[in-house]
Chain A
Amino acid sequence: MTAVSDSLGLVPFDEVLEKYDPAMGLEVHVELNTNTKMFCGCPATFGGEPNSQVCPTCLGLPGSMPVVNAKAVESAIRIGLALNGRIAEWCRFARKNYFYPDMPKNFQTSQYDEPIVYDGYLDVEVEGETYRVEIERAHMEEDTGKTTHIGGATGRIHGADYSLVDYNRAGIPLIEIVTRPILGAGAKAPQVAKAYVAALREILLGLGVSDVRMDQGSMRCDVNLSLSPKGSGTLGTRTETKNVNSLRSVERAVRFEMSRHAGILDAGEAIFQETRHFHEDTGTTSAGRAKSDADDYRYFPEPDLVPVAPSREWVEELRASLPERTADKRARLQVEWGYSDLEMRDVWAAGALSLIEATVAEGASAQAARKWWMAELSRSANDRGVELAELGVTPVQVAEVQKLVDAKTLTDKLARQAFEGLLAGEGTVSEIIDARGLAVVSDDGALGAAVDEAIDAQPAVAEKIRGGNQAAVGALIGAVMKATGGKADAKRVRELILEKLA
């Protein structure tokens, strides 16, 4: 049934808005970086030998019982406060009953009608305009295990010969942050979605509660989207694109679904409520399972857990210890760094604020940090279709390279080559400099020989310089640079030539 819808044409994005209003709902799952899992003492670290970080409780063995991780509750409250939310005085966990092979109890311990955080908001900025995204709730739950389907062509369960299950991830604490429908963003809906997730990511980073690595799944976004006839004020049938795993993909998923929905609606067809998969390579989505509002999870309060009732004193303590609000921080850093409004906006939109902050903290100047992240590395990120933070280059490395530039060991040009090496995974900064032979030649002896050769090779030019025509020196510098493979310090070369020809 969905094949029919999928085969209908896409409406060019610009035309979608002529007839329809988009409504979005974003559900962001965040894995908390607690030491232990949500309901047991197993390590909550990423990876590890399959099924090496498990116990009776996270394996759901008969007789096992959960105990709430207090640190996870603390993280949930801090997130709630940072999102301007209200913290429940009393809330409970519930069982969400459904079958799934990676869920060892065949129910997920989650929160249902009593989330720990409710009624929050986050202001996001797109092209200088601010949108308030209302947050309906943030609740605590446990992650599921991970299945790998072996033998099929697609890596999906259909067609697979068998499946392997790794329960290391089962029971890792998750916070699910759910927005109210985001209305009125119009053509900027894709950007608003991206900006919201980016802002959320910055806040979570600032709180230090999660690694927020979208590429590793520690932050995942489900994008709900519907269209309604322009001006109708109603909500259309939605689709839910699951597990979108980069900021860029969030934007693309919204854009694609808007075009796809419009195509179906224009053809007079109905949208099916379903989950969809996003494809990074094509920027498109495809049908997952049909999903209706009638999904019956048979929620009921988890009888093995006592209610969570954070004291007001504790909540106020946590509020007082919150890091600086992102908006305040942004304003402060702009002044400290001396960026223009436009520069700051670009930095923010690129998700580079905390990267630059960390680079500056490592000793690089704000201008240098911005130069590398926003020019050199942004281009690579764009080419590769990934987020800056996912490039694999760290603030420490950027600062390290810049320090070498400051020490004149590297020129800007050589520094670019060092970044190429880092992006290609060639090793540490010093390994790359050694392997590629990137260090500036500043030894006067070695340079002297090259300078002598250049003078000998171009006597006419040398004569001009001796005659006082300093502009001619460029030709000799060029020759020396060529002879040293671009590794000479140009300023020093100039000095040496002028000394010799004085």
Chain B
Amino acid sequence: MSDLILKTAAELADALAAGETTSVELTQVHLDRIAAVDGDVHAFLHIDAEGALSQAAASDARRANGDALHALDGVPIAVKDVLTTIGLPTTCGSKMLEGWVPPYDATVVKKIKDAGLPILGKTNMDEFAMGSSTEHSAYGPTRNPWKLDRIPGGSGGGSAAAVAAYEAPLALGTDTGGSIRQPGAVTGTVGVKPTYGSVSRYGLVALANSLDQVGPVTRTVLDSALLHELIGGHDPLDSTSTTTPVTGLVDAARAGATGDLKGVKVGVIKELGGQENGQSGWAPDVMRKFAESVDLLTKLGADVVEVSTPSFEHAMAAYYLILPAECSSNLAKFDAMRYGLRVTPDGSPSAEDVMKASRDAGFGDEVKRRIILGTYALSSGYYDAYYGQAQKIRTLIIEDFKKAFEQVDVLVSPTSPSTAFPLGAKLDDPLAMYMQDLATIPANLAGTPGISIPAGVSDVDGLPVGVQLLAPVLEDARLYRVGAALEGAVGPVLSIDKLEVAR
């Protein structure tokens, strides 16, 4: 196995620039790694060796020509299967979309293609991004490369596992309630949810439109910054996209890497494991690693204080009303009439019979559960009691964030209440599964950016623990500065030798 797969995206970009390797070689070594380990990990749903190699060859030709190149031109990437790709299947981990090949690229996909990043393939996910373990994929679960009987987090478990297993140096994920950050935490990778609207959602098959955000999954904070700057910025095809340019992230990551956090005020969120830990199922080993991270921040010069965000207590309830409401409406288009699965019952079935049979066969249990919840929450007579109340809580959470950010520059909490749990452990207990996103959900409700970075490994099971940093809307750069400093202080967490899919 080539050592090239061990390099970070920034290092690969340097190697390409120095002529030490080619994009074709880089792409091939990652395809080889995928061939070697993905049978165990199952991070990918579709692998596009031919397409990736031809994109790589084009990149090499550009470089030989001396054409202007993006910093990441030629560095391969994996893309979560919820983003549309011309000519490549997009299934969202669902039988309902089996075989669907979109005629258009998501804006972020177009951006990475334009920048010359070869796309290795599409990564596995919980069906329509509903879940926290990637066990709800209709195509079978992804396994955590650290320990193959453990979950890789969800819904973006495929992207996180691909990066953690060294199958790809970079990946794109989507984060609706923590689906980039939580998988990042349990696989020892870096995952970022950018400010809502700062990265285009056009071509992201919506789970909950008001919460979804595309973001990077990488092995270092700097790599995330490079990818985040590439995919960010205004998109006229997404009317909720912000017009503020997405810049300064790479500079912030480099500044943070010097390890100086003097003058930075960090707030520990009391409600997310600060004082009231133990109450909401926060694992003691996770809390111990978190406490170490807080100590490190202090040592780096940060001024650490405790802040209270009382409304966060209701975030989960609000989230599980708003999300199903939006997704019940989004998934209505899957009627088996135009694309995707069509199941035709015997006899002379009506369109309605076909729709029923197709939905019965095409949607998994978790999807059906949320459609029913959402349909109920929006029904006349219940709207005010449920959806309306949830929106009020959302406003309170935004207020809590505002107040907290009047006191501090960034907020900090554990990313996930536990390390990677065994496959199947929470499948029969949806609420226990939902609890995985306890700490990540408030940022989605408020539209604020968040990052999860590895805080070390648990002293109980040796599995990675993540720490989450949160910043005010459009202040994503703060996450990279503080994140890079903490990353340096913690030291390397992920290494290929620690994985069950080692070399």
Q: Which residue of A lies closest to B85 (CB)?
A: A63
B383 CB to nearest chain A CB (Å):
8
Q: A62-B84, A300-B325 in contact; A294/B333 too (CB < 8 A)?
A: no
Name the prevailing secondary structure of the A interface residues: loop
Q: How far is the CA of A101 from the CA of B237 in the complex (A)?
A: 26
The answer to whether B206 touches A305 (Cβ under 8 A) is: no
One of B209, B237, B387 near A67 (C-beta < 8 A) = B237
Across the interface, which residues of A come within 8 angstroms of B180, CB to CB? none
Q: Which residue of A lies closest to B96 (CB)?
A: A62
Across the interface, which residues of A come within 8 angstroms of B100, CB to CB? 62
The answer to whether B240 touches A305 (Cβ under 8 A) is: yes
Q: How far is the CA of A362 from the CA of B144 in the complex (A)?
A: 78
Cβ-based interface call for B68 (8 A): no
A173 CB to nearest chain B CB (Å):
15
Q: A99-B332, A101-B351, A300-B387 in contact; A65/B378 too (CB < 8 A)?
A: no
The answer to whether B239 touches A66 (Cβ under 8 A) is: yes
One of B209, B328, B337, B338 near A303 (C-beta < 8 A) = B209
Cβ-based interface call for B199 (8 A): no
Q: Which B residues between 180 and 201 are near A, CB-CB below 8 angstroms?
A: 201
Q: Which A residues between 237 and 253 are near B, CB-CB below 8 angstroms?
A: none
The answer to whether B326 touches A303 (Cβ under 8 A) is: yes
Stretch at the interface among A104-112, A178-186, A491-499: A104-112
| Central interface residue in B83, B351, B379, by most chain A CB within 10 Å | B351
Q: How far is the CA of A66 from the CA of B202 in the complex (A)?
A: 9
Cβ-based interface call for B347 (8 A): no
Q: A63-B102, A63-B202 in contact; A99/B335 too (CB < 8 A)?
A: yes
Cβ-based interface call for B238 (8 A): yes
Q: How far is the CA of A60 from the CA of B340 in the complex (A)?
A: 14
The answer to whether B206 touches A107 (Cβ under 8 A) is: no
Query: Interface code B355-393, partner A: CB below 8 Å = 1, 0 otherwise?
Result: 000000000000000000001001110010001000000
Q: How far is the CA of A298 from the CA of B388 in the complex (A)?
A: 12
Q: A62-B205, A298-B329 in contact; A97/B378 too (CB < 8 A)?
A: yes
Cβ-based interface call for A49 (8 A): no
The answer to whether A63 touches B239 (Cβ under 8 A) is: no
Q: Which residue of B lies closest to A55 (CB)?
A: B104
The answer to whether B329 touches A56 (Cβ under 8 A) is: no
Q: A67-B237, A67-B239, A300-B378 in contact; A62/B333 too (CB < 8 A)?
A: yes
Cβ-based interface call for A68 (8 A): yes
Name the prevailing secondary structure of the B interface residues: loop
The answer to whether A106 touches B209 (Cβ under 8 A) is: no
Cβ-based interface call for B264 (8 A): no
Q: How far is the CA of A192 from the CA of B84 in the complex (A)?
A: 53
The answer to whether B209 touches A304 (Cβ under 8 A) is: yes
| Central interface residue in A60, A65, A101, A299, by most chain B CB within 10 Å | A65
Q: Which A residues between 292 and 342 are near B, CB-CB below 8 angstroms?
A: 294, 296, 298-300, 303-306
The answer to whether A63 touches B206 (Cβ under 8 A) is: yes
Q: A61-B102, A296-B379 in contact; A105/B240 too (CB < 8 A)?
A: no
Cβ-based interface call for A216 (8 A): no
Across the interface, which residues of B come within 8 angstroms of A294, CB to CB? 380
Across the interface, which residues of A come within 8 angstroms of B351, CB to CB? 101
B39 CB to nearest chain A CB (Å):
29
The answer to whether A62 touches B337 (Cβ under 8 A) is: no
B354 CB to nearest chain A CB (Å):
12
The answer to whether B202 touches A64 (Cβ under 8 A) is: yes
Query: Interface code B202-238, partner A: CB below 8 Å = 1, 0 otherwise?
Result: 1111101110000000000000000000000000111
Q: How far is the CA of A67 from the CA of B234 in the complex (A)?
A: 13
The answer to whether B335 touches A106 (Cβ under 8 A) is: yes
Q: How far is the CA of A298 from the CA of B202 in the complex (A)?
A: 24
Q: How far is the CA of A101 from the CA of B332 in the complex (A)?
A: 12
Cβ-based interface call for B103 (8 A): yes
Q: Which A residues between 92 and 107 are near B, CB-CB below 8 angstroms?
A: 95, 97, 99, 101, 104-107
Across the interface, which residues of B come within 8 angstroms of A299, CB to CB? 378, 383
The answer to whether A97 touches B329 (Cβ under 8 A) is: yes
Q: Which residue of B lies closest to A40 (CB)?
A: B237
Q: How far is the CA of A61 from the CA of B383 in the complex (A)?
A: 27
Across the interface, which residues of A come within 8 angstroms of B106, CB to CB? 63
The answer to whether A105 touches B205 (Cβ under 8 A) is: no
Q: Which residue of B lies closest to A295 (CB)?
A: B380
Q: A62-B84, A63-B84, A104-B333 in contact; A298/B380 too (CB < 8 A)?
A: yes
Q: Which B residues between 49 and 100 are near A, CB-CB below 8 angstroms?
A: 83-84, 90, 92, 97, 100
Q: How far is the CA of A304 from the CA of B332 in the complex (A)?
A: 16
B484 CB to nearest chain A CB (Å):
32
Across the interface, which residues of B come within 8 angstroms of A60, CB to CB? 333
Across the interface, which residues of A come within 8 angstroms of B329, CB to CB? 95, 97, 107, 298, 300
The answer to whether B83 touches A63 (Cβ under 8 A) is: yes
Across the interface, which residues of B come within 8 angstroms of A56, CB to CB? 102-104
Across the interface, which residues of A come within 8 angstroms of B102, CB to CB? 56, 61-63
Q: Which residue of B lies closest to A294 (CB)?
A: B380
Query: Interface code A66-107, partner B: CB below 8 Å = 1, 0 otherwise?
Result: 111000000000000000000000000001010101001111
Q: Which A residues between 328 and 373 are near B, CB-CB below 8 angstroms?
A: none
B93 CB to nearest chain A CB (Å):
13
B257 CB to nearest chain A CB (Å):
36
The answer to whether B201 touches A105 (Cβ under 8 A) is: no
Q: How far is the CA of A298 from the CA of B328 in the complex (A)?
A: 10
Across the interface, which residues of A come within 8 angstroms of B103, CB to CB? 56, 61
Q: Which residue of A lies closest to B375 (CB)?
A: A298
A456 CB to nearest chain B CB (Å):
81
Q: Which residue of B lies closest to A95 (CB)?
A: B329
The answer to whether B380 touches A63 (Cβ under 8 A) is: no
The answer to whether B239 touches A68 (Cβ under 8 A) is: yes
| Central interface residue in A56, A60, A107, by most chain B CB within 10 Å | A56
Q: How far is the CA of A414 from the CA of B238 in the complex (A)?
A: 61
B127 CB to nearest chain A CB (Å):
13
The answer to whether A63 touches B205 (Cβ under 8 A) is: yes
Q: How far is the CA of A67 from the CA of B102 in the complex (A)?
A: 20
Across the interface, which residues of A come within 8 angstroms of B378, CB to CB? 97, 298-300
Q: Which residue of B lies closest to A105 (CB)?
A: B333
Q: How far is the CA of A34 from the CA of B380 in the complex (A)?
A: 34
Query: Interface code A154-174, partner B: CB below 8 Å = 1, 0 otherwise?
Result: 000000000000000000000
Across the interface, which residues of B come within 8 angstroms of A104, CB to CB? 333, 338
Q: How far is the CA of A95 from the CA of B237 in the complex (A)?
A: 19
Q: How far is the CA of A293 from the CA of B206 in the complex (A)?
A: 31
Q: How far is the CA of A105 from the CA of B338 in the complex (A)?
A: 11
Across the interface, which residues of A come within 8 angstroms of B387, CB to CB? 300
B278 CB to nearest chain A CB (Å):
36
Across the interface, which residues of B come within 8 angstroms of A296, CB to CB? 379-380
B239 CB to nearest chain A CB (Å):
5
Q: How far is the CA of A55 from the CA of B239 in the complex (A)?
A: 17
Q: How far is the CA of A304 from the CA of B106 in the complex (A)?
A: 15
A241 CB to nearest chain B CB (Å):
25
Across the interface, which residues of A come within 8 angstroms of B210, CB to CB? 303
Q: How far is the CA of A63 from the CA of B88 in the complex (A)?
A: 14
Across the interface, which residues of B come within 8 angstroms of A105, CB to CB? 332-333
Across the interface, which residues of B come within 8 angstroms of A101, CB to CB? 337, 351
| Central interface residue in A64, A105, A296, by most chain B CB within 10 Å | A64
Question: Nearest 5 pairs between A and B by C-beta?
Answer: A106-B332, A303-B210, A298-B378, A303-B209, A62-B205
- 25 A-B residue pairs with CB within 8 Å: A62-B90, A62-B205, A63-B84, A63-B104, A63-B203, A63-B205, A64-B104, A64-B202, A68-B239, A95-B329, A97-B328, A99-B332, A101-B337, A105-B333, A106-B333, A106-B335, A107-B329, A298-B328, A298-B378, A300-B326, A300-B378, A300-B387, A304-B201, A304-B238, A305-B239
Known: A59-B338, A105-B332, A298-B328. 19 other contacts (CB 8 A): A56-B102, A62-B84, A62-B100, A63-B104, A63-B202, A63-B206, A67-B239, A97-B332, A105-B333, A106-B333, A296-B380, A298-B379, A299-B378, A299-B383, A300-B326, A300-B378, A303-B209, A303-B326, A305-B240
B: residues with CB less than 8 A from A are 83-84, 90, 92, 97, 100, 102-104, 106, 201-206, 208-210, 236-240, 325-326, 328-329, 332-333, 335, 337-339, 351, 375, 378-380, 383, 387
